[in-house]
């Protein structure tokens, strides 16, 4: 039987909230601005639900040697879990669910026809790894990094690659991928948990859009404006026994629907990730205890997508509004967790 202990998990999402805007962190995790109760939005943003279902589906496809039915099943299971949560919170919208499901199946159909398989030796796993203490000389006995890994690929040299699948409105340039703290922290956690040699991280980004069928003009010829795959465009001309426009073929070939970025990480970079996590633990500890009063960090880039924008900056005390939009729950540092990561309350 697992021994229960008061541990304090910190996910990358929580750390990001604390680093982006301490008020956002207070709303979601400490309740410092809302009378001591943290707030959980009743409705999960579609983009988060899409990302979760996509990660589960694609990881299942790669780990099953390209079994599309397994991928579809994983997609449906994740969407059903999210729908059940939405139903429980009273915000389930069957039309929105159906649209999301159709969209993701369309994406998956296109993905399995075009993606190259990565052998995943281990599949979706949650890690709960002690972060270094502030001095860096020992592990914190309370703070843990909570990491959700999509998969792990072991290469021919027996080195591990953490694999992350992302769904994006816009693909990210490699220079920015290389700086992402989440993947570095996950690689650090995997090395610490398993003691295995880490080669790096493979980040695969898929554009959150389905290529359209070939568009035709009224005269029956393919249009010059296309959002299809290049092979579909060329096939349309084959059917008409005509030559395709080479400029349009080149443009369609240049369009990136999916991009895989292998990022090699050195031992020094992984060590630095550990030092960053010690800083994160220290920040969260100060926010948990109230030693730091949360600073609002508003920005036109940050606030429009923030789940707390309707109550932030004046409406925190509007009980009716707060309870219409959020569930109240205990602050995260007061929730009990077991060492094996199973939430007990």
Residue of the chain from 298, 319, 323, 327 that contacts ligand SF4 (CB under 6 A): 298
Applying CB under 6 A, the site for ligand SF4 has a residue count of: 12
Q: Residue 129: beta bridge partners?
A: 145
**Binding flag, residue 303, ligand SF4 (CB under 6 A):** yes
Look at strands 139-154 and 160-168 and give their pairing: antiparallel
Q: How far is the CB of 295 from ligand SF4 (least distance, A)?
A: 9
Residue (209 or 306) nearer to ligand SF4, CB: 306
**Binding flag, residue 33, ligand SF4 (CB under 6 A):** no
Residue of the chain from 296, 323, 330, 342 that contacts ligand SF4 (CB under 6 A): 296
Cα separation, 5 vs 340, in Å, equals 10
Residue of the chain from 7, 10, 18, 21 that contacts ligand SF4 (CB under 6 A): 21
User: Does residue 185 contact residue 12 with C-beta atoms inside 8 Å?
Assistant: yes
Residue (118 or 312) nearer to ligand SF4, CB: 312
Residue (255 or 296) nearer to ligand SF4, CB: 296
Question: Which range binds ligand SF4 by CB under 6 A, 68-76, 102-110, 229-237, 295-303?
Answer: 295-303
**Binding flag, residue 215, ligand SF4 (CB under 6 A):** no
User: Does residue 111 contact residue 206 with C-beta atoms inside 8 Å?
Assistant: yes
**DSSP single-letter state for residue 40:** E
E runs forming strands in the chain: 8-11, 38-41, 122-132, 139-154, 160-168, 198-207, 258-264, 326-329
What are the φ and ψ backbone dihedral angles of 37, each rounded to 5 degrees? -115, 135
Residue (160 or 288) nearer to ligand SF4, CB: 288
Question: Which range binds ligand SF4 by CB under 6 A, 47-55, 242-250, 284-292, 306-314?
Answer: 306-314
- Tokens in use for 217? 């003009």
Whose CA is closest to 186, among 208, 167, 203?
203
Applying CB under 6 A, the residues found at the interface with ligand SF4 are 21, 23-24, 296-298, 302-303, 306, 308-309, 312
């Amino acid at each position: 039987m697992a021994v229960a202990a008061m541990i304090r998990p910190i996910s990358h999402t929580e750390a990001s909230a604390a680093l982006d805007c301490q008020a956002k962190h207070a709303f979601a995790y400490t309740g410092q601005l809302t009378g001591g109760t943290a707030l959980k939005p009743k409705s999960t943003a579609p983009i988060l639900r899409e990302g979760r279902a996509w990660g589960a589906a694609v990881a299942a496809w790669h780990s099953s040697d390209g079994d599309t039915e397994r991928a579809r099943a994983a997609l449906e299971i994740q969407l059903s879990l999210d729908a059940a949560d939405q139903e429980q919170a009273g915000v389930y919208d069957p039309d929105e669910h159906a649209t999301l499901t159709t969209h993701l199946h369309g994406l998956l159909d296109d993905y399995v026809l075009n993606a190259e398989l990565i052998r995943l030796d281990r599949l979706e796993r949650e890690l709960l790894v002690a972060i270094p203490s502030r001095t860096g000389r020992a592990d914190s006995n309370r703070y843990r990094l909570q990491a959700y890994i999509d998969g792990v690929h072991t290469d021919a040299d027996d080195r591990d690659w953490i694999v992350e699948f992302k769904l994006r409105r816009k693909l990210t340039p490699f220079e920015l991928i290389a700086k992402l703290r989440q993947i570095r922290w996950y690689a650090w956690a995997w090395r610490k948990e398993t003691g295995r040699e880490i080669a790096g991280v493979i980040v695969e980004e898929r554009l959150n859009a389905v290529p359209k069928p070939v568009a035709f003009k009224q005269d029956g010829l393919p249009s010059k404006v296309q959002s299809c795959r290049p092979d579909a465009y060329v096939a349309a001309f084959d059917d008409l026994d005509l030559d395709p426009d080479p400029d349009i073929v080149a443009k369609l070939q240049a369009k990136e629907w999916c991009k895989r970025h292998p990022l090699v990480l050195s031992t020094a970079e992984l060590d630095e990730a550990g030092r960053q996590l010690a800083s994160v633990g220290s920040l969260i500890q100060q926010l948990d205890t109230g030693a730091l009063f949360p600073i609002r960090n508003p920005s036109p880039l940050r606030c429009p997508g923030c789940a707390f924008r309707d109550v932030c900056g004046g409406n925190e005390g509007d009980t009716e509004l707060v309870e219409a939009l959020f569930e109240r729950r205990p602050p995260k540092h007061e929730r009990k967790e077991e060492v094996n990561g199973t939430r007990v309350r």
